[in-house]
Structure 1
Amino acid sequence: MSLAALFLRFLKFGMLAFGGPVAQIALLRRELVEEERWISSARFNRLLAVMQILPGPEAHELCVHLGMRARGRLGGLLAGLGFMLPGFVLMLALSWLYFQLDFDRSWLGAALLGVQAGVAALIVRAVHRIGEHVLVDGWLWAIAAGSAGAALAGISFWLALSVGGAVYALKRSGRRAIAVCLALAGATLGAGLALTMEPGAPSAFVEGAGKQPGDVAAWILFLAGFKTGLLTFGGAYTAIPFLRADSMRQGWMGDAQFLDGLALSGVLPAPLIIFSTFVGYVAGGPWGAVAITAGIFLPAFAFSLIFYDRLEAVLENVRLHALLEGVAAAVVGLIAVTAAQLAWGLLSDADQRLAVAAILLAALGAVYLWKSKLASPLILLAAGVAGVLAF
């Protein structure tokens, strides 16, 4: 296969990447494993297990890895670009359109409010789904609860992730007493930091869309994306609390806009993490969108392109597994708090509270009962229609 043909092959996958990572991985398996025999089913399963441990969107990382098997590092780069390009272009176009229309005075604003409620329901379901696989013992539940408490207190997630990973690694190595002491030290440090912190400045964008994108420097957005890309353990939903923390702390955007970005990404053929393009556009315009997208996808490219021959050997280290499991548990706590805060923000307007709550609960019921790979985009579409009717 030529490099051009390889790029077009994965560009096609990118155009059909609806339904989230499960549907995307199923598409790759059906066409490349079962029909075209690029790789054996057993090897694909082992590769998928490795990619799920690493940070980053696993479907995209699979594309990079398979492209590299076909045509080396350049093939991996082209395969990854082909898979992400349709979603990036569409999100960039929607981000531009977001600032061209007056949402507050049109039915689009009502539709987006309904979709925001649907997005909140999807995040709640994601917390449950991720938690089922990650929180498999009492220690991990305790780490998640501690991380949630730190987030509510406004403590940097770096402390929660570091302590959570180290505590569980110590526990798995048989050093339970040291693990308990470290957990208590982390809790004490977190409480001390919470008592000395001053309230942050309110976001300039809290009320909704500004008339123009912000002017945040591209390199700042690139670093924010890169940091998020390194911390997205367990799927794209884990990127939400990290980008939201930066967005709110730096005043780039408020929760309403943040939910708008998640809503738009939920109906595109792309990894959910493509909502970062919207965040970058709101904060820094077109170049900001490019910068944050490059940063957030860089780890997904790098792990396969640099460590192609060593991934499985490195990840056989049991201590590393335990460290990553502790970090993943802390991330579950962060997502849970983020979901609660976003939902609470939606319910803060007394005039709209009942209608928003009704849409959120209906969407939540549909998310749990409807198992189709197209469930997420169709639920968001229905939530948008309900928003138009209600508001």
Structure 2
Amino acid sequence: MPSARSHRISYQEAFHTWLKIGLLSFGGPAGQIAIMHRILVEEKRWISESRFLHALNYCMLIPGPEAQQLTIYIGWLLHGWRGGVVAGTLFVLPGFLSIFVLSLLYALYQQTELVTALFFGLKAATLAIVVEAVFRIGRKVLKNRTMVILAACAFVGIFFLELPFPLIVLAAGLIGLIGGHAQPKHFCVIHGHEAATEERNSVIHDHQINHTQPTWGRAIRVTALWLAIWFVPIALLFAWLGSGHVLFVESLFFSKAAVVTFGGAYAVLAYMAQQAVEVYGWLQPGEMLDGLGMAETTPGPLIQVVQFVGFMGAYRNPDPFDPLMAATMASVITTWVTFVPCFLWILLGAPYIERLRDNKLLSAGLSAITAAVVGVVLNLAIWFAAHVAFGHVEEWRGFGLRLLLPEWASADYASIVIALGAFFAMFKLKWNMILTLGVASLTGIGYVLLIYPWLF
């Protein structure tokens, strides 16, 4: 690993900087990466532009929130594995505390008028953010007919056929690898970031960074340590509470979700929502939107929404614990199994990924997966839209298909108006996410507390 004494950046200064980044990490991965770039590259000049982009390129090849993994990688680059652990933890901690407080208020006071009003507007505006994600990811990868067909097949597979999200990811990756070998021009549509034309005067120059050479011994040690950190708590829950307890079920479910989050959090949200609402019954459809609104408006990765899902699932199935005790433990274990794998991927893979950076087959596989993700996120957008616009949505199943059938009499016109306003604000007025959600939330509060009682 790089020597902590090879540069002038102290552990204390790094700690304060990573905490600052964690507290400012609003706006999704694009905003979070931009904040890190401004602080680390432009302001402090700790790391060069090309090295920053190089690290970012690594993180986009592996599952998990790329912004948090980028902090782990750069922390590791600066101060070895200790620096990576501190950087990655501080990136998640502010969001964890924020979501915990909001989940607690939600569980205790969900039926109160103020909490209902707060989330009424957030829920509607979140739909616009999910649709924006479809366009953003689509522009990145849907550059030819092959990618469009992959996206369409993924949408049909998850929306109509209810195929598991992990199966779709694996199938897309396999198709990409085969297609990249046979027809690379149709599949290799995502390429690595171009290095900056000029190197900045950074504290650490590229040639000063002495990466640990990959060895079997190091790989075995890192893998054994982080697999133990990941799975020992799960094993203890199994021994203590049994395989049927909600805490053990959640720990396994979110561990599985953590290894299939290719393409960002939006990709796995559809899978998570389907399972949490329809299979396990931890949440109601509208509550998944509430949780997503929490994650959108608090610092940290969007995937932190898993904490809210785990909290509510355990709060409603607490035996033999007090509901708040069970929910608190669920917050910890869901966060643990979601983010510990990120440390494993980075600390194990960083010495190897540079060798794979320009591999064309991997680029083809990643392109195919990202195209499939467009279809998956479109499924999420339609699912959310149905539950935002209508108070009651039936599901029809037959001939191996699933269809959503909204009850037209249950249309929620106020939610529809707020959602359309959020669309206009984001796509026409170019408002950022925080401003859009803030205005939508205030609009929802005004409607629920002032206009709705007057109308009804």
In the superposition, the TM-score normalised over structure 2's length comes to: 0.73
1:141 is matched with 148
2:365 is matched with 323
The number of residues matched between the two structures is 351
How do 1:201-220 residues align onto structure 2 when only pairs under 5 Å count?
A: 216-220=245-249
For the 8 Å contact 1:65–1:76, the answer to whether it is kept is yes
Instruction: Quote the Cα distance in structure 2 between the aligned partners of 1:96 and 1:107.
Output: 15
1:151 and 2:158 aligned: yes
Match of 1:269 among 276, 287, 299: 299
- Report the Cα offset of residue 304 of structure 1: 1.5
Structure 2: tracts of 5 or more residues without a match: 1-8, 188-243, 315-326, 392-408, 449-456
Deviations 1:174-222 (A, max 9, x none): 179xx9xxxxxxxxxxxxxxxxxxxxxxxxxxxxxxxxxxx95323222
Deviations 1:253-286 (A, max 9, x none): 1211111101111111222111111111111211
For the 8 Å contact 1:115–1:387, the answer to whether it is kept is yes
1:117 is matched with 124
- Report the Cα offset of residue 340 of structure 1: 0.2
For the 8 Å contact 2:180–2:365, the answer to whether it is kept is no
Say which is worse superposed, 259-268 or 130-139, in terms of deviation: 130-139
- Report the Cα offset of residue 169 of structure 1: 2.0
Deviations 1:360-385 (A, max 9, x none): 1110111113446xx21221121122
In the superposition, the TM-score normalised over structure 1's length comes to: 0.84
2:355 is matched with 313
Structure 1: tracts of 5 or more residues without a match: 180-214
Q: 1:371 to 1:388 in 2, by over 3 A?
A: same
Match of 1:367 among 426, 432, 448: 426
Instruction: Quote the Cα distance in structure 1 between the aligned partners of 2:382 and 2:17.
Output: 40
For the 8 Å contact 1:115–1:380, the answer to whether it is kept is yes
2:96 is matched with 88
For the 8 Å contact 2:137–2:370, the answer to whether it is kept is no
Match of 2:439 among 376, 379, 382: 382
How do 1:174-213 residues align onto structure 2 when only pairs under 5 Å count?
A: 174=182
Instruction: Quote the Cα distance in structure 1 between the aligned partners of 2:139 and 2:61.
Output: 15
> Which letter maps to 1:124?
V
> Which letter maps to 2:264?
G
For the 8 Å contact 2:263–2:369, the answer to whether it is kept is no
- Report the Cα offset of residue 5 of structure 1: 4.2
CA RMSD in angstroms comes to 2.1
Deviations 1:220-265 (A, max 9, x none): 2222222222222232322311321321222111211111101111
Deviations 1:54-91 (A, max 9, x none): 22222111110111112111110011101111111111
Q: Percent identity between the aligned chains? A: 32
Instruction: Quote the Cα distance in structure 2 between the aligned partners of 1:157 and 1:238.
Output: 9
SS at match of 1:56: coil
Deviations 1:70-117 (A, max 9, x none): 21111100111011111111111111111111x334132133122101
Match of 2:288 among 238, 258, 263: 258
Say which is worse superposed, 324-333 or 274-283, in terms of deviation: 324-333
For the 8 Å contact 2:166–2:260, the answer to whether it is kept is no
1:237 and 2:266 aligned: yes
Higher-Rg member (1/2): 2
SS at match of 2:111: helix
1:99 and 2:70 aligned: no
Instruction: Quote the Cα distance in structure 2 between the aligned partners of 1:170 and 1:54.
Output: 19
